[in-house]
Structures are given as structure tokens and as C-alpha cells.
Chains A and B, each alone.
Chain A
Amino acid sequence: MKGRSLKLREAHKSSGAASFCSILWDLRAQHLLTSSSNDLSICIHDPLLPSNSPQILRHHRDGVTALALSPNSTCLASGSIDHSVKLYKFPGGEFQTNVTRFTLPIRVISFNRSGSILAAAGDDEGIKLINTIDGSIARVLKGHKGSVTGLAFDPNGEYLASVDSIGTVIQWELHSGTALHILKGIAPDTGSDLSVLNALSWSPDGETLAVPGLRNDVVMYDRDTAEKLFSLRGDHVQPICFLSWSPNGKYMATAGLDRQILIWDVDQRQDIDRQKFDDRICCMAWKPNGNALAVIDVMGKYGVWESAVPSSMKSPTEDVPSLQSKNSNGLLLFDEDEQEPSASGSLSDLGEDSHGESEPPSRKRLRKQSTYDEDINDDLLSSLPKVESRKKASHSHKESLNNGNEGLKSTTSARLKMQEAFQPGATPVQPGKRRFLCYNMLGSITTIEHDGYSHIEIDFHDTGSGPRVPAMTDYFGFTMASLNEHGSVFANPCKGEKNMSTLMYRPFSTWANNSEWSMRFEQEEVKVVALGSAWVAAVTSLNFLRIFTDGGLQRYVISLDGPVVTASGFKDELAVVTHASHCLPSNDQMLKFRVFNISNGTQPLKGHVPLTPGSCLTWFGFSEEGQLSSYDSKGVLRVFTNQFGGSWLPLFSASKEKSEENYWVAGLNMNKLFCIVCKSPDLFPPVMPKPVLTLLDLSFPLATSDLGAETLENEFILKNMHLLQIQQRIEEMAAAGLDTTSLDDEAFNVETALDRCILRLIASCCNGDKIVRATELVKLLSLEKSVKGAIKLVTALKLPNLAERFNSILEERLLNETSRPATLPLTSSNHDASTTPDVVMSKFLTSIQSSKPSQPVIPLPSPQLSSPLFAKKGKLQEGAKVGNEKVEQRRTAIVENIGKVKSLAEVKSIEDVTNQGEASIGEIKNGAVNQRPSNPFAKSSSNQEKSSLFDAIKKMKKVDETGKR
């Protein structure tokens, strides 16, 4: 068993004694409600921010024993030891009414599927069914001998099951109010311990009723016959005190008096996971839209057990039967109910004295109620044939497959939501706290609501150079903003009819007074705003992209092809992300982007926005260099590149970093991601204290290779990408006719760094005996010197055959290079620039000469004759001076080789050259490049040649160093 443990957090003071506590999720799992029978208060926690203090409802005068939420989560009911049942609005928590009173403490309450009936029971002898609309008592069900501790409405609305403290289960027909089945002594007798309450539960499809059994097991009873079907028996050593079906009915969580929770696969009748706790767990609730189980123990400590069902198995929320019906019908019926009182109004007067079942008016009323309930059922069944199909499906597996698909479809529409529009760099509203409307690398716009209007401040990070902007009072209630060097733009959504959506632009510095402007939109709502150089963009609810100049001229109106998600501006470019379609059943958002060039009126880029499965877009914008970038809720940063016809590169993954931190992206540049680090439950930073940006290195999500040099591999890919980007920019600049010198230098630096990285990779490849990979890497080296360095490196590493191979690669390279310039016309004399090839050759010599790395790299240009033999001899002599004999021999061979290669190249290109002239022509060729005849002292007169040569020499020194390392 895995040694995981769940940390529980105190929700209610326990004062040492065990008490019955309850826990509930709301429909969308946005809130977690807890109560304790030792505590007067009900706590509403935010499961995302458990450290925040919960919202507390204190209306009861004694401990709260029971909680129930109406199925659409708009109404909260609580039962208490103080004998009352109260109703509240939810999630606001405003107290609405005391819906009923008992003469003894209440132990359990439950809503029916439509939310129209609330059942409450406790130490009193009857179960009261209360009409939630007018608070009238619809029926009192009497039959239990002990106090009623568990109530469960059948999901199909026909039955109510109840269990009492002595272990009797009664199944009531709601129609008639009669007890259909009375099963005595099937559940454990909990005696007088009030912290243990017998529970029972219908499976979500309503086919089975689960009741804790007498043999530390859970017994399943058939819906119609109340016959025992099967039982879940396993490792509980004491009776089960609580059980809960997963939303899809595939799993069940049971809590026993033995302080453990078991998760069962109901179909397999097998427990699949368990967890031990310090105290007894008295209540559990499955998260309605995720794989998590909320638990609370008898000491009032609660926690959420994430992925209670092992992730390898089907999620507990997959194929939820008729969840949709719960949502839509619940809402719908609630609306109907509000008109209903007229129908039941006459009866509600009798509500108080209608306890007696025999009273005719109440019966009449009940009839109505029950027919009404039947309507609900019909409704349910007609709207969702799936419920029926479920019935059949329980017999045949084939059908259940179909059924599963159907279920999936229904959950899609119910649970999955298309992402709402957002501003990059904005934080959500927090009551009473300042929040960011916009945060970027330049500055921030913050707002706080105060007495009905907001207070907006604009701060620049660089206080020295940024303009000072006075704080402003905002009567519009702006919720969207964007900021750049020149100005800020604000917009508010429309609230009601009077408050129209407004767009306002405030330039920071202008020569004219009053150059602030605003636009109002009728029947239209601004969803997203963006700013660029001299333009303002707003995307509205009608899917219009409206572009204004910074003077307020309405310049363009463009219709977009989907609801907007976000937009971002950078200089002339505007990027807009829209929904491409409804999200996929797998909960993936389908987004696409377009980049507009506002000043040219073009659309240079468009495509889809990739996201990590199950995530949504949280940030979208441009890097400092203008690369389009996105960040999703799973923490993956992607940058758009033109490679492969335009694709997104995942450049950062938060999951690789520390898990207890969340990163809130503010921007990025070529090498770093700028973000604000938030401690784990927080997803976004507060305004105060001023957040400090953290720089994180970009890294590709590389697979773990057998090389064990991930950092190098990562550097390699990154450098390659940079080089490509720079080259691309050089091309752009060159196309625009601009000077590219600085970029050339940059490219050269990157090339150098890349070669250095590759050399190190080659070294680690050689150490790891990955010879083929090393050869591939050598081919990727961009500078000739680096190749030589690589040869030197492998020689030092005593890998002669690799060195050989590298040599041939180098030769090939030289060959390719020489064949290109040789096509130039030959105009120079034989004496011309005889030194250049010498230099090259001698350099080559030194590079392969691993034993003497300190040998001068540039030998003095020898004033020798240019005859090839002589040159070779000279080299040989030189070599003999420094090296030992063996090395010398090899070197000679290589030199000869090179000479041949060169000469071959020459022969190919220049046909009318005789054999004797070979080498000299090779030399001439170099001179030919500059096309300047007869200056033997001008080593290389063209600038280009010179610089490349010296740089190459410099480079080689560097390479030497790395090679030595």
C-alpha cells in the first residue's frame, strides 16, 4: 500500500469530543461546506484556497447536524440540535427562513432530485417532507422506532429510503406515503453514540440502494424488490458508518469505525484504494466534477483526497448518468416552483397542522405534490432516455457501452465550458482587495472597488522613465485594461440597461489637452481590449474587432469568426485568440489565433492555439522580441516559430519545476521567462506587497536520454532556435534594406556558442560511447575551426576511427566550400596570395596535433615559392620540429590528403590546368576571391576575407580551450 497520507485541516473546533460533522460540495465544486454538531457555524470553504478563512454562517443556536444543498446549488438547508431547519441562499449565504421546527434534535436532511422537497428527520418519530417553496409540510412519514439518521431520495423521484439508529431501513413510496419495504435490523445498531449515524445511499442510476451491513460490509438492495443483490466486503474491521457513491456510480467510498476509507470498484466488488486517518471519518463527498473526495472526521477536520480513484482507472466523473437532467431540470423546476405557490398556496395555510397523515386536505395537497413529482419524473425520463437505457443496460454489457457514450455527451454540455474571455495579466476580483487589471513588463494597472465606484492606479515598474499618471476614480466600473508606453485603455462590461459598455483611452503624454476619449456600445459589450503603437483594439460580444487610432478615430471594424478569448498588442501587431468551436468532450478548448498587422492592414499569421489536454489558456502575448507566446493553466509556455511552416514550440513546463509553486506569467524574452512566483494554492499574486518578477530559464520538455546530458541537449536545441530566429530577422532586415551588422555579430556569437555546446555534446557522446550521434553532431558544426576542434577532441579521447571519420567529414566540407568560390573568374598571377593556403594548412596541422596545443596558431607567412612540393616539404619540416615521428607521419598523410582534395577540386572546376600547377592554383583561388592582381603583400585585401580569417583564428583558440576541457 502506498504510504500517502492526507493532511486534514481544522474547520470546526472539536473540544475533544467526537461530534458528527458533515461535508458537501456545491454543484460546480467551487465551494466546500462543512458543519459540526459541536459548532453553531456552517463554514463555506473555497477548495482552491483552503488557507483563506471560510465564510461562516451563524444562525443556529446549537450544533449543526445536517447540511443539504439543493441540486442546482442555489439553496442551502441546515438542520440542527436546536430543533430547527433553516434555509439559506447559496452561495451568498443569506438566511432565508426557518423552514420547520421539530420537538427534538434533527439528524438528517435531504433534498429530492428537483429541489422541490426537503426531507428532514431526527430524534422525532416522523420524517417530514417539506415543500421548499412555501415551507409547508407536505407529509410526515412515520414508522421508525429509533431516531432517523439517514435519508436518501431515489434519483428517479419515486422512493425515499431512510435508516434509523437501530438499523431499520424503510423504503417509502413518495406517491402514497406508504412504507413499501421495511427491512428490520439490516444495518448496524449505532446505539446512543450520536457521532455515528447510519447512512444509506442510492446509486446515481437509482437501481440499487447501498446500506451499511452488519458484517462490516456494504449491502446492495434492489430498487423495486428490496432484495439483497450483493455486498462489498473487504478490509473494514469495524462497521461502516458512511458511504458515498461516486458521481458515475462506478465507485463507492466507505468510511468505517476502524478509521479508514476504502474506495471500491462497485462492478468488480473489489476495493481499489484506501487511506487511514487519525480519527474516524464521519462524512465524505465526491467532487461532482473531478476525481477527488472531500472528507471530514469527527474532530471537525476536513480535507480533500485528490485522485481518490487511481488515475489509471476510469475517472469517477466519467459517464455520469443524468447529470444534465439534474442541472437543467433543477433550474427549470425551480423557476416553475416559483409560480407554483398559487397551486399549493391554499394548502400551505394548513401546513402547520397537517402533521397528521389522515387529514384530507393535506392528502389532497399531497396528491398534487405527488403528481407534480410524477411530472418531474416524466420530464426526467422524456428529456433523457438515458435513464431508461440505464435500466436495460444493467443487463447487457453491449448496451452499456452505447450508454456510456451518451452519458459522455450529456456531461460534455453540462460540465465542460468554453473558456471565458480574459485580459492577459489580469487577476480575478477579490472583495475588498486591490487587483490587477493589467500587469505587463512595463507596469501595472490596479483597481479596488470602494463604495460603489473604483479607484484605479497606473504604476510603471521603471519609475524613472515612465510617465507619472495620477490615480483616477472610475465611475464606470472598468474590468478590462491594457497598458503600453503611450497610453492606457479601459473598458467595462454592460451592467443592466442603463450602464452601457464603455471603452476609454487615456494617452499619457500628448500635445493637445483633453485627448482622452471614450466610446459607448449599444447592445454590444466589450470583451477584450488591446493596445499597440498608435492603435487601440476592442473585441466585442458581437465578435467585432474594432480598431481605433489613438486619437479616437474609428478606423476599422472587422468581424471575427468566433467568440473572443483574449487579445494582445505589440507595436503594429495585434494577436486575437478566438474559439474555433465548442470544446471537445475531452475538455479541451479549441482555440485559434490571428495576427493582424494594423498599419499594413495585413494578416501575417493565423492558426490554432495548442493547449495541454484539459487546460485552458491563461496568458497570451508577445515576447520582448515580438514572438507570439502562450501559457496555459497546466503551466506550459509555447512560443510561435516560423519553422515547419509555423508551429508552436513548448519552451517551458511548470511541472518540471517545484510543485508547490505556481507561475504567473508577465512576459518573456529569448532566454528567460519573467513570472511572478506564487506559493501553491494561490494562482495569482496580490497587488500588495508589490510582486517581484522571477526569471526562469526556458527549456524544452526533453525526454530523458541515455546520454545524461540534458542541460547540454537543451542548450543545443535552444541555441539552434535562436540562430534560426536571428537568421530570419537578418533576412527580414536585409529585405527591408536595413543594416544588419549588429545582427550579423549576434548571429556569429550564437554560432560560436552553439559550436561550443555541440563540442561538449560530442565529448559526452564519446564518453557515453555514442559514436554515431557524435558524427551527426560534427556535421552540425557551423564553423570549420570547430570541426577541427572536434577532431582534436576525439584524438585526445583516443578514438582514432572517429577522428578519421571526422576528417573525412571535414574534407567533404572543404570540398564543398572550395568548389563554390572556384567558379569565380581567375585573374590573378601565380604569386598572388601564396600565404593564405599556407596559413590554412598550418592551422590544420596544429589542430590535429593534440600533443602540442600551444603551438602558435599563425605561422609567419613563409616567403616560399608557391610550388606544391615545396610547400608540403616546408610543412613537413615544421612538423618534424615539433612532433614525434609517428605523429609526423600521420600528419604528413593528412596533409597530402588535403592537398589532393584541394587539387582535385581545382581540376574539376578549372579544366585547362596542368598537373604541376595544381597546388599553386589552389593558392591562386584564394587570391582570386579578392580579384586583385599582383600585390603579394596584401594577404587578403577584401574586408570580408580578413575578418572571417581572424575570427576563425580566434574561434579556434576558443575551441582549443573547450577541447582541452
Chain B
Amino acid sequence: MAGQSDPYISLFSAQEVEFLGEDEMVEIVPNMRMDPLNLICGDFGPFRPQIATQVPLWLAVALKKRGKCTIRPPEWMSVDKLTQVLEAERNSLREFQPLPFHYVEIARLLSDHARDDIPDVYMVRSLIEDIRNVRFHKVETGLETIHERTHAVKLKNLSAMEANIVRPFVVRALQAFYKHDSPEMIPQPDTTAIRRRQVADRGPKRDRRY
């Protein structure tokens, strides 16, 4: 993975983040009959026509491509909900609204593959776009406040895609500040290595700190 190949840039490509996001569960309504699937990641099904069931997104997309199901868009992906979120996002300058960790990826995948299952797909898409922009703007303005005394940055409710974009910058900025802040201490390769590992370890948590 990209993050492993380059020690200084712990960055996943967008496709990689999307790949991770494909493990999120979504509800589908199959139009075929199939026995339960026993996969390594769990058992899914049984699939019965017109009876909703929960499957990972990748499976939902695969079934959808074959015309075997309709995907029920998650609750937060409605125009009403998204409008509320956007409103709240705009009103609170310091906080992020709770959205699914992989909301960007889910929205992207669903609007690519299950366009006909989402009511008001254009509206939903543009709302997600807006939310993303507002949130990213918030991240950027928030990062301006980093200075030499900052040891960590706390960003609650940050999503995978957003974290992935800002992570390398934040980590390296903090490192740089740390380095410059203690001129007498020559940075040892050990400490940076540890630090980096720690950052990597925090990957799957929802509350991220840097």
C-alpha cells in the first residue's frame, strides 16, 4: 500500500479508502432467492425476494450490477437529513456533525452504482458535495491554529476520506514544530518512528487525535 511504501507520506489513495469503505453494511432488497452466503467476514442472507437484508457494500454493489437487488439508501442519505446536516455544519464552526465514517465513499459508490435507488440523486449528490466542502474548509481553518505549543489536534467525527487527506500534513507539521521547538534536542530516528507507528495505529478509531 502507498502508506507502507513511502514512510513519510502515510497516505492511502482515494481508491484504497474506498476499498476500506466497502465493508460498511447497507440494506438491500434482493429480487432473487439464494441461500445464506458463508464468507470469511461473516454470514449474509438468506436472500429472499422483496425481503430486506443487510450485506456489505461491496456485495450490494456486486449484486446490483447483476440486477439482483435494489439498494435501500441509508437513512442519512435522504435530502431532509442531509439538508439538516449541512445546516448544522454551517452553523457550528468548531464541530463536525456525526456522519458515517465512510460517508463520502458510500455516497460515491451508491450514486455510481445505484443511481435509480436513491430518490433525488442529484440533490443528494450536491448536498454531499457541499457538506464535504464545508467540512474540509473547517479542517483547513482549524489547522491554521497549529503552532509550536500544539502537541495534538483533536478532530471529532472526522471521516475516513477527510482524515486521509489531512493526516500526512498534520503529522509532519506537528513533527516539524516539535523538532524546531526543542533545538537542543537532536531528534533521534527512534522517536519519529514510534510516533509514526502510533499514528498508524489509531487508524480505525472514530475519534481521531494527532
Binding site for B on A (CB under 8 A): 460-465, 674, 690-695
Contacts and interface: CB of A to CB of B under 8 A. Distances in A.
Contacts of A692: 29, 50-52, 72
B32 A693 contact: no
Contacts of B51: 674, 692-695
B3 interface: no
B49 A461 contact: yes
B31 interface: yes
Contacts of B72: 692
Contacts of A690: 29, 50, 70
B33 interface: yes
Q: Which of B31, B33, B50, B51 lies at the interface centre, i.e. has the most chain A CB atoms within 10 A of its CB?
A: B50
Contacts of B67: 463
Contact of B49 (A462, A691, A694): A462
Could you tell me the dominant secondary structure of chain B's interface residues? loop
Contact of A462 (B32, B52, B70): B32
24 contacts: A461-B31, A461-B49, A461-B50, A462-B33, A462-B49, A463-B31, A463-B32, A464-B31, A464-B32, A464-B33, A464-B68, A465-B32, A465-B33, A674-B51, A690-B29, A690-B50, A692-B29, A692-B50, A692-B51, A692-B52, A692-B72, A693-B50, A693-B51, A694-B52
Contact count band on B: 10 to 19
A512 to B, nearest CB: 29
A739 B138 CA distance: 70
Contacts of A694: 51-52
Contacts of A693: 50-52
A695 B51 CA distance: 8
A460 B48 CA distance: 12
Interface in B60-105: 67-68, 70, 72
A693 B70 CA distance: 13
Q: Which of A460, A461, A690, A691 lies at the interface centre, i.e. has the most chain B CB atoms within 10 A of its CB?
A: A461
Contacts of B50: 461, 690-693
A696 to B, nearest CB: 12
A461 B33 CA distance: 9
A324 to B, nearest CB: 47
Contacts of A674: 51
A692 B27 CA distance: 11
Contacts of A691: 50
Nearest to A443: B49
Contacts of B68: 464
B37 to A, nearest CB: 16
B78 to A, nearest CB: 13
A692 B28 CA distance: 10
Interface of B: 29, 31-33, 49-52, 67-68, 70, 72
B207 to A, nearest CB: 34
A800 to B, nearest CB: 44
Given A460-B49, A464-B32, A692-B51, 14 more contacts: A461-B49, A462-B31, A462-B32, A463-B32, A465-B33, A690-B50, A690-B70, A691-B50, A692-B52, A692-B72, A693-B50, A694-B51, A694-B52, A695-B51
B64 to A, nearest CB: 13
B47 to A, nearest CB: 10
Contacts of A462: 31-33, 49
A674 B48 CA distance: 11
A465 B68 CA distance: 11
Nearest to B68: A464
A469 B130 CA distance: 44
A465 B52 CA distance: 19
Nearest to B119: A689
A727 to B, nearest CB: 26
6 pairs of A and B residues whose beta carbons are closest in the complex: A461-B49, A462-B49, A464-B32, A461-B50, A463-B31, A693-B51
Nearest to B31: A463
Contacts of B31: 461-464
Q: Which of A462, A465, A690, A692 lies at the interface centre, i.e. has the most chain B CB atoms within 10 A of its CB?
A: A462
Nearest to A464: B32
A674 B50 CA distance: 10
A642 B31 CA distance: 35
B14 to A, nearest CB: 32
Contacts of B70: 690
A691 B29 CA distance: 10
A480 to B, nearest CB: 22
Nearest to B69: A463
Nearest to A666: B50
A634 B68 CA distance: 36
Nearest to B51: A693
Contacts of A695: 51
A461 B67 CA distance: 13
A693 B32 CA distance: 14
B155 to A, nearest CB: 37
A324 B31 CA distance: 53
B67 to A, nearest CB: 7
A463 B30 CA distance: 9
Contacts of B33: 462, 464-465
A889 B33 CA distance: 60
A674 B33 CA distance: 15
Nearest to B52: A692
Q: Which of A460, A464, A690 lies at the interface centre, i.e. has the most chain B CB atoms within 10 A of its CB?
A: A464
A461 B72 CA distance: 16
Contacts of B29: 690, 692
A703 to B, nearest CB: 32
A690 B70 CA distance: 10
A712 B198 CA distance: 48
B41 to A, nearest CB: 24
Contacts of A461: 31, 49-50
B123 to A, nearest CB: 17
B153 to A, nearest CB: 43
A693 B49 CA distance: 9
Nearest to A444: B50
A688 to B, nearest CB: 12
A692 B70 CA distance: 11
A667 to B, nearest CB: 11
A463 to B, nearest CB: 4
A183 B70 CA distance: 73
A690 B52 CA distance: 12
A691 B50 CA distance: 8
A137 B50 CA distance: 63
A754 B29 CA distance: 32
A139 to B, nearest CB: 60
A691 B67 CA distance: 18
